[in-house]
Amino acid sequence: MVFVLLLRGVNVGGAGRLPMADLRALLTRLGCEAVKTYIQSGNAVFRFEGDAGVLAEAIAEGISGQFGFRPLVLLRTADELAAVLADNPFGAGVGDPKTLMVYFLTRPAPGADLVAMAALAARGEAFHLTEPAFYLSAPEGIGRSALAARVERLLGVAVTARNLRTVAALAEMARASRAEEAAC
């Protein structure tokens, strides 16, 4: 099965230093195959046959043991990632894909404070919540968004975020990995 790995807090602002070559080596040691990373922020696509929950824990333990920090580890199947991309309520015409963030939730967030989110949203910002993801369009920039700064607290669940460009690239990598798997 093809999985996409999303780590939170890796190589951001000088914290959570994790060279991607070391991440690929760790994943390979844990039984992952055809491991590919994308940019330097803890994204990987690979094939793995086994329990995803056990793998996620092993990844967190491996990083903790070797690098001294324990990131939030989220695994999504290729199908799950494709569904999150397809469910984007803002469509492909969002404008700059760097201003649309997809927050991947560790679990559904039925207690999310949508009223507080609406109050924090700046003019032009829009958001949408689904079970696996929270979408935030911030045309003036995510760094300027008061809502973006408080999303996790208002959702009430742990998240890791990627911009739409990264999500699309990871989905394409996962699709290609599935095609390679099918050809074998």
pLDDT of residue 12: 74
pLDDT of residue 93: 59
How far is residue 22's CA from residue 24's CA, in Å, rounded to a whole number?
5
Choose which CATH entry (1.10.10, 3.30.70, 3.30.450, 2.40.50) describes domain 82-163: 3.30.70
Q: What is the pLDDT of residues 21-74, one digit of tens each?
A: 999 999 999 999 999 999 988 899 999 999 999 999 999 999 999 999 999 999
Look up residue 123 and give its two tokens: 């003019």
Q: What is the pTM of this model?
A: 0.94
Q: What is the DSSP letter of 22?
A: H
Q: What is the pLDDT of residues 135-147, one digit of tens each?
A: 999 999 898 999 9
Work out the pLDDT band at 94, boundaries 50, 70, 90.
low
Lowest mean pLDDT among 10-19, 81-90, 140-149: 10-19
How far is residue 182's CA from residue 51's CA, in Å, rounded to a whole number?
21
pLDDT of residue 175: 96
From the list 57, 68, 64, the residue with the least C-alpha distance to 5 is 57
pLDDT of residue 101: 95
Q: Say whether 82-163 and 2-81+167-183 share the same fold.
A: yes
Residue 157 has pLDDT above 80, yes or no: yes
Q: What is the pLDDT of residues 61-83, one digit of tens each?
A: 999 999 999 999 999 999 999 99
Domain ranges of the chain: 2-81+167-183, 82-163
Cβ–Cβ under 8 Å, residues 146 and 64: no
Residue 122 has pLDDT above 90, yes or no: yes
How far is residue 27's CA from residue 46's CA, in Å, rounded to a whole number?
8
**pLDDT, the chain, mean:** 93
Work out the pLDDT band at 92, boundaries 50, 70, 90.
low
Lowest mean pLDDT among 66-80, 82-96, 98-112: 82-96
Residue 93, SS3 per DSSP: coil
Q: What CATH number is given for 2-81+167-183 in this structure? A: 3.30.70.1280
171-175: list long-range contacts, CB under 8 Å, 24+ apart: 171/4, 171/78, 171/81, 171/82, 171/85, 173/4, 173/36, 173/38, 173/45, 174/2, 174/4, 174/45, 174/78, 174/81, 174/82, 175/78, 175/82
Residue 15 has pLDDT above 90, yes or no: no
